[in-house]
Amino acid sequence: MKKYPLLEICVETREAAVAAERGGADRIELCEDLRVGGVTPSADLIRATRSQVHIPIFVMIRPRSGDFCYSTREFIVMIRAIAMAKQSGMDGVVLGLLHADRRVDIERTRELAEQARPLPVTFHRAFDDTPNLSQALEDVIAAGAARILTAGGKASAEEGGGAVAGLVDAARNRIGILPGGGISGVNIERVLECTRAREFHSGLSSVLPFPQTDHVAFEAEVRKLAELLRRHPIERQR
């Protein structure tokens, strides 16, 4: 059976998650307040979404907007949020921790990855804030994450496509590289061709502004992405 690139869709409501699944998404990233990059969703939203969505759901673990250097109190909140996500039937968690100098906080990321097991960890676009993406790649691998969401240090995955391609090569199957940022039906095939990645992330904010209230239009845009990716079986990319 042919395999195709995986499509992850970022949403902030149960209704948008249901629309994304209908449109052909393979995985959901569930957040609240996507206008600030997403924060941890409420327990009620997590449970309501899990009750209606059958594809995997990865939940954002981010206690506040702003930078990614967290206090001890915020770190404890993140541990509790991971426990809640596991109890609620989530399939993965999405997080990112940096030191004040914007290097990856390996120790505390590793601790959260241990707390999350057996759920996989995606290190989110805090990665793009680091001063050296090559070093950050090694640091995130050392911390035990399963994948990195990145636009190659740029504003969009298309703009940072060359850097993302370099990360895909450097990862050498040790960790997944998930391009994200400004991906839509207009450019996803260009990003795929440039990066040779096997998973792609989109919130469709470049074509449908937050909040995602027009669920018919949202479903249609997700379907467009899914259909475009299905033109490119993975075995033909390498």
Confidence grade of residue 210 (pLDDT, cut at 50, 70, 90): confident
Q: Which residues of 79-97 are buried (b: 16+ CB within 10 A; e: fewer)?
A: eebbebbbebebbbbbbbb
pLDDT at residue 211 in the model: 78
For the entire predicted model, the pTM comes to 0.96
**Dist. CA 157–CA 174, nearest whole Å:** 21
SS3 152: coil
Q: Which residues share a beta bridge with 176?
A: 147
**Dist. CA 94–CA 109, nearest whole Å:** 11
pLDDT at residue 209 in the model: 79
The residue extents of the domains of the chain are: 6-229
Average pLDDT, the chain: 96
Confidence grade of residue 237 (pLDDT, cut at 50, 70, 90): very low
Q: Is the per-residue pLDDT at 212 higher than 70?
A: yes
So what CATH class is 6-229? alpha beta
What is the tens place of the pLDDT at every residue in 96-144? Answer: 999 999 999 999 999 999 999 999 999 999 999 999 999 999 999 999 9
Return the closest-CA partner of residue 143 out of 95, 111, 188. 111
Contact 137, 148 (CB under 8 A): yes
* Percent of the chain scoring above 90 in pLDDT: 93
Beta sheet of 57-60, edge-to-edge order = 176-179, 147-150, 121-123, 92-95, 57-60, 27-30, 6-11, 199-202
